[in-house]
Structure 1
């Protein structure tokens, strides 16, 4: 009943003001009601089947596993941890706002409860939904995304874990250490797991972290761009993984040891530049170039921009409201496409709609939930200027409508 009322109220924000009194019309014209409500509706729609089933120990029994040809036996070993870890990595900042006596706050409480119940099922060896943290190579990736969620929501996720679940979680994360990461962005996955263990008060492996950081400094190509390994790859992995994890790994380290402050600031400046480039990639229509691998992560391609907006560290001249408007356009373009969800509400492989051939061999249903990382600014309160500012044109929309623009510069 509450969910129906919440969505009904969200819909009211878009009702024509011509039929409302002047005072009420002024209220419903506020853009934050429309955009924030839409973002929350999108997030909860994506989250519902994953968390509802996992919290009841029914994820493996219920979740479909769509994959590319020839992967139908391999991907079910990994897809469930993918779905859970990636979903929480994007959902965590919003959950970190905590429960409050408002419609949105009560909705958050519902999902906080589901997240904790799901985590308990995921790491309990006796659970029917005990997830794979150490068999094959893939689990270190999604142990890292789950770890990232703990880093992003320390008060509401990490610190509220029940004692038994905490013990199980620590063992699960430690188990992923048997996996040797590829010589690429995967080094950051091992490092992020160590950051979660550090934040949980457990012994952590400084060598895994130092190695990942040093190699990524070696792979920096300039102007906010890292190689994915020694070579540059023209894809969105600077956003899917590299910038967000580098920023949060060094922030966690800095909070533990102030000597990492200089490195953190260097990495943050590069991330700010990359976020500025990403803002310029969004077309006036809310589309973006379908370049590189893993396009099935949809608007998760903008995690780097979303994170810098969430951190309130946007480069000078980029307004929070223009980023909100740009990201909203991208989210609507990707999520409103027909057949994005199956009949039971699970995401289907695709970039814009259901496009099975766009999935690589490592892509399956669970992989797709990385899209939620494009929603990180939901961790900003509804009163923040990101949400309260009037809708604004973003850079490409200004440029293609003939508006005057300042020059763009490399760092």
Structure 2
């Protein structure tokens, strides 16, 4: 595929995944349509999970200005669907009104919805009418009933407060933001990786949650504290390093290590690499078009495998097709939609070097084809 074909492939794939969620929710029929048989003891959370995680990945594309032609028509259409979906999810009179109140899981997915609002402050947060804005604010505040554990959950609380700030709520809680940032600065383990709490976990949570949310929270609030402004370049440098590590984990055939929790989030494991491309903080030695080719290989390798979707187009648990034994007990059908977070670079214009640059081999391809590649270098602080 050339660069134009790759962008179309990414867009088509994102919409294939996200369309059933947004279409059903915009018609207030998601609770009737989303399959909840898989781990149905978690089914009450599935609808918010599917919606919020889809929104988290699609938001930069919906926010993008300067598109033309068919893609702009699609973007405008889906921005409208997303606004209708937000209304349906947060309106207490809606049959699709979602559970923000129960302690525990709703905080997680309120945070993914909040991240979507932070990523699309104009096209999503900025276009909510007064009624919907009030409903969204009330829904997000309900999650304060959950006291987050000493883990990545601290960042869920911080991200909810970030969205309240974006929505113009003067009562956002600075302490929840500050506590999360301070704790993760203490939990840094070295070479671009944070602990998930005090302990190191060999999984993809640095990419699923920790670094994307920490980055966006500290950028949003750096003006609030001289310490945040001082820490921001450190946090970015660590994220650069971890993005480089993620790219090096992509094998020549587009596979990658399947280790740790939540691997059924599929290519959502590369959210941080996608965010580094979107926000232009890739290391200089890692060309953006190389990242595009690597991520395209990952997406295509998974999407070409049969069985990822059921007969109605809903995701099924697994990495390559239907592999329910790979899913932890907290996973339901809605959880799987965190895979959408790989599509963040669609928030870049087609003229951006990420999309416009010539195809390149990614690092593992270059090494295994005998190229004389510069050695990897650890981050020394």
Q: TM-score range by the shorter chain?
A: over 0.9
Distance 1:329 1:66, change over 3 A: farther
Could you tell me which runs of 5 or more consecutive residues in structure 2 were left unpaired when the two chains were aligned. Answer: none
Counterpart for residue 86 of structure 2: 119
CA shift at 1:66, angstroms?
Answer: 4.2
Counterpart for residue 187 of structure 1: 154
Counterpart for residue 24 of structure 1: none
CA shift at 1:259, angstroms?
Answer: 5.2
Distance 2:332 2:37 in 1: 5
Question: Any idea what SS the aligned residue of 2:189 has?
Answer: strand
Say whether the 8 Å CA contact 1:85–1:143 is kept in structure 2.
yes
Deviations 1:44-94 (A, max 9, x none): 001111000000000001110142xxx42x211101000111001000000
Deviations 1:336-368 (A, max 9, x none): 211101110000000111101111011011001
Distance 1:398 1:100, change over 3 A: closer
Counterpart for residue 374 of structure 2: 406
Distance 1:259 1:321 in 2: 34
Question: Any idea what SS the aligned residue of 1:369 has?
Answer: helix
Out of 138, 141, 145, which is 2:105 matched to? 138
Equivalent residues in 2 for 1:84-233, closer than 5 Å: 84-98=51-65, 100-202=67-169, 203-233=171-201
Distance 2:23 2:127 in 1: 19
Residue 394, structure 1, aligned to residue 365, structure 2:
no
Distance 1:154 1:56 in 2: 24
Counterpart for residue 57 of structure 1: 28
Question: Any idea what SS the aligned residue of 1:372 has?
Answer: helix
CA shift at 1:407, angstroms?
Answer: 1.5
Out of 333, 351, 356, which is 2:301 matched to? 333
Say whether the 8 Å CA contact 1:55–1:115 is kept in structure 2.
yes
Say whether the 8 Å CA contact 1:247–1:267 is kept in structure 2.
yes
Counterpart for residue 345 of structure 2: 377
Distance 1:170 1:99 in 2: 30
Counterpart for residue 27 of structure 1: none
CA shift at 1:260, angstroms?
Answer: 2.2
TM-score, normalised relative to structure 1? 0.90
Could you tell me which runs of 5 or more consecutive residues in structure 1 were left unpaired when the two chains were aligned. Answer: 1-13, 15-30
TM-score, normalised relative to structure 2? 0.97
CA shift at 1:262, angstroms?
Answer: 1.5
Distance 1:161 1:326, change over 3 A: same
Larger Rg: 1
CA shift at 1:101, angstroms?
Answer: 4.3
Deviations 1:106-133 (A, max 9, x none): 0001100100000000000000000011
Q: State the number of aligned residues.
A: 378
Say whether the 8 Å CA contact 1:243–1:304 is kept in structure 2.
yes
Question: Any idea what SS the aligned residue of 1:78 has?
Answer: helix
**Consecutive aligned runs of 4 or more in structure 1 exceeding 4 Å deviation:** 98-101, 255-259
Residue 34, structure 1, aligned to residue 2, structure 2:
no
Which region of structure 1 is more displaced relative to structure 2, 284-293 or 196-205? 196-205
Out of 229, 242, 264, which is 1:296 matched to? 264
Question: Any idea what SS the aligned residue of 1:299 has?
Answer: helix
Counterpart for residue 21 of structure 1: none
Counterpart for residue 321 of structure 1: 289
Distance 1:321 1:223 in 2: 24
Say whether the 8 Å CA contact 1:98–1:109 is kept in structure 2.
no
